[in-house]
Amino acid sequence: MAIPYKPFPFNNRGLQLYGVIYRPVVTLRLINNHTSSKRIEAIIDTGCDACLFEAHIGESIGLKIKKGIEGPLSGVIRGGPAAKV
């Protein structure tokens, strides 16, 4: 499947040797049951197992954000988990 995207220039301070790195950005809508969000742009992290959006976007389509399961968010970072999600 081919999905149109636009490049987003990103300067990773941890990898300054590479300068600007371009990330894929897609325009999408989140859908819960029959309610959809406004169109938003999202950076696609092709190596990520979870997707993160601001809470108000999920709430706008009826998701019970505060009733969700809380857990650690981690990755290639110094010091272990970065946040609870």
Whole-number pLDDT of residue 39:
94
Query: Looking at residue 85, what is its pLDDT?
Result: 46
Edge to edge, the sheet with strand 6-11 lists 6-11, 20-28, 40-43
Torsion of CA 50, 55, 58, 64, to 10 degrees: 100
Integer Cα distance of 7 and 2 in angstroms: 15
71 touches 49 (CB < 8 A): no
User: How much is the pLDDT for 34?
Assistant: 92
More confidently predicted of 83 and 16: 16
- Entry pTM: 0.53
pLDDT of residue 45: 75
Helix (H) or strand (E) holding 56: helix 55-60
Please determine, for residue 61, whether its predicted confidence score (pLDDT) is greater than 50. Answer: yes
